[in-house]
Amino acid sequence: MPVFTLPDLLAFLWFLTAWIAYSVVIEKTAKGRRTLNALMNDYRDEWMERMLAREMRMVDAQVTASLQNGTAFFASTTLIAIGGALTLLRASHDILPVVSMLPFGSAMTPQSWELKMMGLIVIFVYTFFKFAWSYRLFNYFAIMVGAAPAPEQKDTAEAQAFAHRAAQLCADAGRHFNRGQRAFFFALGYLGWFVGPLPFAVTTLGVVIVMWRRQFASDARLAFDAGWVGTSRSRPSPSRRRSAPRS
Q: Are 109 and 92 in contact (CB under 8 A)?
A: no
Is 239 contained in some domain? no
The per-residue pLDDT for 100 is 67
Q: Look at the chain and report how many structural domains it folds into.
A: 1
Local mean pLDDT, 10-residue blocks, the chain (247 residues) = 84 97 93 89 91 91 94 95 89 72 68 90 97 96 93 91 94 96 96 89 96 91 70 43 41
Is 220 contained in some domain? yes
109 Cβ contact partners less than 8 Å away, ≥ 6 residues apart: 3
Is 232 contained in some domain? no
Is 233 contained in some domain? no
Coil vs helix vs strand at 91: coil
Residues in the chain: 247
The per-residue pLDDT for 235 is 45
For 22, the enclosing helix (H) or strand (E) is helix 6-28
Full domain range(s) for residue 180:
6-226
Is 243 contained in some domain? no
Is 105 contained in some domain? yes
The per-residue pLDDT for 175 is 95
Is 237 contained in some domain? no
Q: Is this prediction's pTM over 0.95?
A: no
The per-residue pLDDT for 194 is 86
Could you give the count of Cα atoms lying within 13 Å of 215 in the half-sphere of its Cβ? Answer: 20
Cα–Cα distance, 240 to 242 (Å, whole number): 6
The per-residue pLDDT for 247 is 36
Cα–Cα distance, 143 to 38 (Å, whole number): 24
Is 49 contained in some domain? yes
The per-residue pLDDT for 241 is 40
